[in-house]
Structure 1
Amino acid sequence: MAVPSQQAAEVPPAAQRRRIGVPGLVFFVVAASAPLTVAAGGIPQSLGVTGVIGLPLLYLLITAVLALFSAGYAAMSRRITGAGAFYAYAAQGLGRVPGVGTAFVALLSYNAMQIGIAGLFGAVASDFVEARTGAEIPWWVLVFGCAALVGFLGYRRVDLSARVLAVLLAVEFATVLVFDIGQFAHAPHGVSAEPLTWSAAVHGPLGLTLCFVFAAFMGFESAALYSEECRDPRRTVARATYLAVALIGGFYAFTAWAMIVGAGTGEAGAMAGKYGADMMFVLGEHATGPAFSDIAQFFFLTSLLAALLSFHNAVARYIRSLGREAVLPVFLGAAHPRHGSPHRGSLVQTALTFAVVGAFALAGRDPVADLFTWLTNLGALGVILLLLVTSAAVVRFFAGGPGARGGAGAGAGAGDESVWNRLLAPLAAGIALAVIFSLGLTNFGAQLGVAPGNPLRWIFPGLVLVAAVLGLAWGVWLRAARPATYRGIGTAAAVEDDTVEGTEGDARAAA
């Protein structure tokens, strides 16, 4: 179905838009998961809070769950190519009203992740500058500078951002690999296989540990957001998603194992509780020399910058997709005439970052304990819900859901998808994600580090519900008040059958 002409936004030529191949897309996806940030922050936090040394096995377990999810996600990406991703998939699989509810949750979740990471960047950058120059620069000043840089890159061509991410990611991986090799080479009690055993994985608060582990993968699902800018969206998104999941999961498991044996399996939990995010730098300095700490802390900052750039691009593309279909103001749906970028969505996201960070700074809140911890956990919970909804949408879509009535779904090319991709894998992933989402809700207070009676324990999960309800209500209102807009929901993404190539589908959707 074509989007009504009054909703169509300017679409730059395909030659301008389709710049990203598999490597470039992997850069965006892996950058959002921030490997060095997880190594320096996520793994020590998980160890310090839970004491579970079976983290490597749990990283591999979550990798398997996400591989299941990716099977159905990749199948959808071969039929729906648009910057809306979760929103478009939900609209085509479950219906337009649930699609708008999904879009509102996505906007909340990705903005929360982006702005929360900005708080951590400000705190780390401020400490780094003060330790080396003696200059005391407020954390929010550095965040504003970083947000301006990220906004500039997000405003311009997407391949410029990909090149920046390629350099930053290469440095990240090299830094962590040096650390990993050093830990295995200087393990105080030798290299132990205990962290890879099931008994080590379940010895402790398994539910809480799974929540921490899953949060490390946030951003892995962002490949489909760039499908309109991929050279071959029917193949690129699927390949990039599978590759990113395997790369992220294997790398995190290997690094967690290295950190645990480097500290000693019996001492790793206590050391993580004592040093926190400095655990990696302390262990690295001991194994590879004092220069490692300075170098790794600097690249920790570039890791955060890469994550900020990746999430910024994701939010901008969601905003453009919703503007193009008039779910948000139509002017937000335009692409830049020269760069082909969602420049207006980029400007909106940058302005929102300035506003939220400014509010936290004026209130005197801590950039890590408050801004980073609160918002990234909120974002992670929302993304888990999005993955769960998308799994349901995949099953419904290929079974002849709402998208099938518009020409897609089981009647339009589902036959070339195996029963594994369109039913069994998304169904299994949905069950696993439902369990993880439930664990996330019940353990949310512990993730925030607040007492069980603290109202934040329910306020932040409540925001996800509020976003979903507002989105559903807005979808119902559009159905009654703006039927032309309502009919276009989820259709600016090209819905393709097995005889139509991606570029032809894009042209049809924009007609």
Structure 2
Amino acid sequence: MSTTILGTEPAPSPGAAAPSRTLRGSLGVASIVFIVVAAASPLGVIGGPVPLGIAFGNGAGFPFTFLVVTAVLLLFAVGFTTATPFVKSAGAFFAYIDKGLGRSVGIGAAFAALLSYIALEAGVFGLFGPGFDALLQSYGLPAAPWWLYAIVGFVVVSALGYFNINLSGKVLGVLLVAEVAIVVVLDAVVIFSGGGPEGFSTGIITPTEIVSGAPGFAVLFAILSFVGFEATAVFRDEAKDPERTIPRATYISLILIGVFYTVSSWVLITANGESDIVTTAGENAGSILATTTETYLGTVGGHIIQILFVTSLFACILSFHNIGSRYIFALAKKGVFSERLARPHTRHGSPALASLATSAVVAVLTLAAVLLGLDPITQFYTWLGGISAVGVVVLLVLTSISVILFLRREDHGLGRWKTTVAPGLGLLGLLAFFAIILQNLPVLVGETSYGPFSWGILALFALAFALGPIVARTRKGVDLS
């Protein structure tokens, strides 16, 4: 009888060659871009963080904030992609951090990354469930508990995560094209109709508008909108020619996301009128995208945007599930977790057991939210979103520091722009972003000042990094390189 468990590679018999522990896939630049951009959830951002950034940030100047964040992340990407040929592990953050800051910090970063990505995957179910329910109610179906639809999404995501990454890539490609297309159509109609009731918004180029209100809060929402772009390196083992594919996918993803957010947020302001946009966005944050679409594209457009908003959230969840699964697989392969989690599926070449482990953690988090009676949006999503925001920016900062140290420590014949100047400028920008997130973290998790949830989030990451040196000392076979 076969010893294969759930289709994964069996343990080798004595004297037999060890089975392959490499994931299989043929992802090109476009496929990785689809996965990464889908994780950013473009339509979800235009319908969620953008209205909040306008209302509680810097109003009509908010689109300029996306330009600033895009510029900083592109500077980060210079060092990140320059180091890619020298980082052979498909571990993204932790592999890069290990190169410059050592194994203990690298393992701690791996735990922090897992915490960030899996928390966000689970948290977005808190948006997906109510969103799906609202969509079906609009077609006359009765209201249902949010967790019922979350279960449906969970089962589909878990199934797709079990199979080869190419299947997820195709699904995400279709969903991404659809959600981007409807916003592009809306943008085009508004622009070619001569703008909104006050013409075209000029806040994006007006210094007084850019620094109005609370620019720091605007930066916070803009950063959250980019979470996931850095995960291109996670798919190294499944990419065609990774040393070329990963850098190209990183730059293309960043530029596409940045341009899309900047233009679409500007159009949303233009379509509703610049003078009252702060009030309009504040009073209708959850519905402004749908009502704007109905105004310019009619009732059919409004229904389409509702459907695609839900599919956008699904695409976001699936993307983060794939990212989290590959983190677990990579860590198991390096000796941090059980070796069984590093066995690819014999037929699909996927991290099947790692995917199931990711699903199990997400299931526990979601079940806890249901049993505790948490509000799916204002508590479950917000709290877990706060965890992700803190974690990703911390990891970006550490990766920047590590890349600079690594590239300057060893002479690779590269210019100062790639090894020091661009990564250094990116690091300064990321440190400023981190300070802004710490300042606004209580608001992000629904507290007026630092309370149990804000401190709890920071304590979780302190614990994650504290585990780094413990694991490094107790599991001698760990090798992140």
Fold conserved between structures, TM > 0.5: yes
- Distance in 2 (alpha carbons) for counterparts of 1:188 and 1:83: 50
- 1:500 corresponding residue in structure 2: none
Q: Quote the sequence identity (%).
A: 35
User: Which residue of the partner structure matches residue 196 of structure 1?
Assistant: 205
- 1:421 positional shift: 1.5
Q: Which residue number in structure 2 is paired with residue 273 of structure 1?
A: 282
Asked if 1:256 corresponds to 2:253, the answer is no
1:175 and 2:182 correspond: yes
Superposed, which structure 2 residues align to 1:392-403 within 5 Å?
Answer: 392-400=401-409
RMSD across aligned positions (CA) = 1.8
Query: Among residues 320, 337, 340, which one is paired with 1:328 in the alignment?
Result: 337
Tell me the alpha carbon deviations over residues 94-153 of structure 1, each in whole angstroms, 9 at most, x when there is no partner.
111111111111011111111111111011111212232332221111111111111111
Question: Is 1:148–1:350's contact at 8 Å kept on the other side of the alignment?
Answer: no
Contact 1:388–1:433, Cα closer than 8 Å, also in 2: yes
Alpha-carbon deviation of 1:358? Answer: 0.9
For the pair 1:165 / 2:162, whether they are aligned, the reply is no
Which region of structure 1 is more displaced relative to structure 2, 196-205 or 34-43? 196-205
Given the alignment, which residue of 108, 112, 117 partners 2:115? Answer: 108
Name whichever of 446-455 and 331-340 sits farther off: 446-455
Q: Residue 7 of structure 2 aligns with which residue?
A: none
2:236 maps to: 227
How far apart in 2 are the matches of 1:36 and 1:468? 34
Contact 2:57 2:216 (C-alpha < 8 Å) held by counterparts: no
Distance 1:136 1:217 in 2: 33
Residues 9 and 442 of structure 1: CA distance in aligned 2, closer, same or farther (over 3 Å): farther
Counterpart for residue 464 of structure 2: 467
CA contact (8 A) 1:32 1:219 kept: yes
Q: Aligned pair 1:353/2:358, yes or no?
A: no
**Larger deviation, residues 171-180 vs 383-392:** 171-180
- In structure 2, how many angstroms separate the alpha carbons of the residues matched to 1:125 and 1:265? 31
Give the stretch that moved more between structures: 191-200 or 107-116.
191-200
In structure 2, how many angstroms separate the alpha carbons of the residues matched to 1:360 and 1:309? 20
Does the 8 A contact of 2:58 with 2:210 survive in 1?
no
Deviates more, 1:27-36 or 1:203-212: 203-212
Counterpart residue number, 1:498: none
**Cα offsets for 1:289-343 (capped at 9, x unmatched):** 1111111010001111111111000000000011011111111111111111111
Which stretches of structure 1, 4 residues or more, deviate above 6 A after TM superposition?
A: none
Q: Secondary structure at the match of 1:19?
A: coil
User: Hey, what does 2:65 align to over in structure 1?
Assistant: 58
CA contact (8 A) 2:56 2:217 kept: no
Change (3 A) 1:99 1:453: closer
Q: 1:457 to 1:466 in 2, by over 3 A?
A: same
Q: Which runs of 5+ in 1 are unaligned?
A: 401-409, 492-511
Shift of 1:10: 4.1
Q: Write the letter of the residue equivalent to 2:31.
A: G
User: Given residue 362 of structure 1, which amino acid in structure 2 is its aligned partner?
Assistant: L
Q: Aligned to 1:399, what secondary structure does the other structure show?
A: helix
Question: For residue 48 of structure 2, what is the aligned residue in structure 1?
Answer: 41
Q: Does 2:326 match 1:309?
A: no
Structure 1 residues 100-499: aligned runs within 5 Å: 100-184=107-191, 185=193, 186-400=195-409, 410-411=410-411, 414-415=412-413, 417-452=414-449, 454-475=451-472, 477-478=473-474, 482-483=475-476, 485-486=477-478, 488=479, 490-491=480-481
- Per the alignment, residue 99 of structure 2 pairs with 92
Report Cα offsets for 1:135-183 as digits up to 9, x if no partner: 2221111111111111111110111111111100110111111222233
Q: How many residues were matched structurally?
A: 465
The answer to whether the Cα contact below 8 Å between 1:395 and 1:427 also exists between their aligned partners in 2 is yes
TM-fit CA distance, 1:453: 5.2
Query: What per-residue deviation string (whole Å, max 9, x for no partner) do you get for residues 204-247 of structure 1?
Result: 21212111111100011110000111110000000000001000
Cα distance in 2 for partners of 1:434, 1:352 equals 31
Question: For 2:20 and 2:211, how far apart are their aligned partners in 1?
Answer: 52
Q: Partners of 1:12 and 1:470 in 2: how far apart?
A: 26
1:134 alignment partner, SS class: coil
Matched letter for residue 437 of structure 2: G
User: What code does the residue aligned with 1:455 have?
Assistant: P
